[in-house]
Chain A
Amino acid sequence: MHKKTSKLPTYILFLTCAVLTYFFFQTPLSQPAGELLSSVGRKISGFAYSLTRFNSSYDASNISRLTLENIELRRKLTRLELLERENNALRDQFETQYPKSSNLTASRIVGMKSFIPGVSRPSRFILDRGSSDGVAIGQGVVFKDNLVGKIGAVERNLSEAVLVTDQKFSLTAKILNRSAIGLVKGQGSDELMLDGVLLSETVKKGDVVLSKGDETLSGIGIPPDLTIGIVDSVEKKPSALFQTARVKPIVNFLLLDEVFVLRRVTSNE
């Protein structure tokens, strides 16, 4: 007859291990172990993630090319209109590329978690750059002139980027060539909501939504004039205080392999 043994001692042992593990990794003594785990994690996730991109890169090559062309054309149009404004306002003689390449850290995506991989839209990326590469919480993540998201969590060799479509993401935004200002919030799917726009302002389908700028004293944050998306529809109720608009991101996050972390919004280098 099989004797039923109590699992309680083993449970208490491993519970103690779990609690001790948590407190151990809060102390500076855990730094070497944390670095080792983080670097191993980066290699494993990078390898595992690269296996999923092998087939999808063949199938999506044409879509990717057209999407990139679309992004490039919209980028040129936006830049042209911004340049015209800047020239009219007698801008500084030092023309700069935007954002400056010296402020950017190239970062490979090594994890793209979603409910159903390949079907559901991801809301966060895991990047292969961490605090050892100068990445910090709050830094913007961009792809060309498009805002992808911002850094939400950082380890030694890995970091997590919260995408603009994540429910926890919000940012002040403006409409290109209009005076409308509002708050862009992620909706948890492939969509954003532009909220808090005054009823007196004009917002139309097809308008380009840009970042207003969100920078701390240390230069970390999201610079102004980065493309967030295109207005897809506008909801304007006369009885409401504000109008809202649905915004679609230009960038298809599923097709990204590499993004850039904005180390500093303004460079003193």
Chain B
Amino acid sequence: MNRLVFWGLFGCAALAESVFTTMPLVLTVLVVYYSLHSREAVYFASWAAGVFLDVFSIRAIGLTGIFFFVFWAVVLLYERKFEIKTPQFVFLAIFFGCVLYLFSFGYEHVFAQSLVSGALGTVLFISLRSAWKPSGEHKNV
């Protein structure tokens, strides 16, 4: 059920970001999922989403994927020392990730979009955390 919800959210985010909006919804969903479950499936999702977004944004294919993995490198380093299953981390990770993403790929309204994405991700994290059990207690995640 948790996997289904994640892939459903992920698919909707990828489609919305490809066609309708410039907000980094994929990055938001990936950060929320990683904060909740810390699963390696997020790496496959990042690579696949990167290719998908590059096709729809008319960019060099693979560029977004490389960005995502540079972002995950920073998150991995942070995770070694600090707790990531907190709303504060989710908000700051999404906010700064979005700022870099939007600035790197030349989008407008960088601050506003990053703020909204951070808020959206935090709300999603808090909602899903109360609905899902922690990964240590759950068998099928």
How distant is the Cα of A8 from the Cα of B40 in the complex, in angstroms? 9
A22 touches B58 (CB 8 A): no
The reply to whether A7 and B76 contact each other, CB–CB distance below 8 Å, is: yes
Residue in B15, B18, B60, B69 whose CB lies within 8 Å of A14: B69
Q: Is A196 an interface residue (CB 8 A)?
A: no
The interface stretch among A109-117, A176-184, A242-250, A254-262 is A109-117
Give Cα A153 to B56, complex, Å. 11
User: CB of B44 within 8 A of chain A?
Assistant: yes
* CB-contact partner of B19 in A45, A152, A154, A160, under 8 A: A45
Are A18 and B19 neighbours in the complex by a CB distance under 8 Å?
no
**Which residues of B have CB within 8 Å of A52?**
20
- Cβ of A266 under 8 Å from chain B: no
CA distance A24 to B113 in the complex (A): 32
The prevalent SS among residues of B at the interface is helix
Q: A14-B69, A18-B47 are in contact. Are A126 and B56 (CB under 8 A)?
A: yes
Query: What is the 8 Å Cβ interface bit string for chain A, positions 85-129, against chain B (1 contact, 0 not)?
Result: 000000000000000000000000011111111001001001000
Residue of B nearest to A187 (CB): B108
Residues of B within 8 A of A49 (CB): 19-20
Bound: A72/B18 CA distance, A = 33
Q: CA separation between A17 and B66, bound complex, in Å?
A: 9
Q: Give bound CA distance, A17 to B48, whole Å.
A: 10
Are B108's CB and A188's CB within 8 A? yes
**A155 contacts B by Cβ under 8 Å:** yes
For B21, give its contact among A24, A114, A166 (CB under 8 Å): A114
A126 to B21, CA, bound (A): 12
Q: Does A200 contact B (CB under 8 A)?
A: no
Asked if B20 and A154 make an inter-chain contact with CB atoms under 8 angstroms apart, the answer reads no
B96 within 8 A of A: no
Q: Which of B22-81 contact A (CB under 8 A)?
A: 22-23, 38, 40, 43-44, 46-47, 50-51, 55-63, 65-66, 68-69, 72-73, 76
Show 15 residue pairs from A and B whose CB-CB distance is below 8 angstroms, ordered by the A residue. Answer: A11-B72, A14-B43, A14-B44, A14-B47, A17-B65, A25-B62, A30-B61, A37-B61, A52-B20, A111-B18, A115-B21, A115-B108, A117-B21, A120-B109, A158-B55
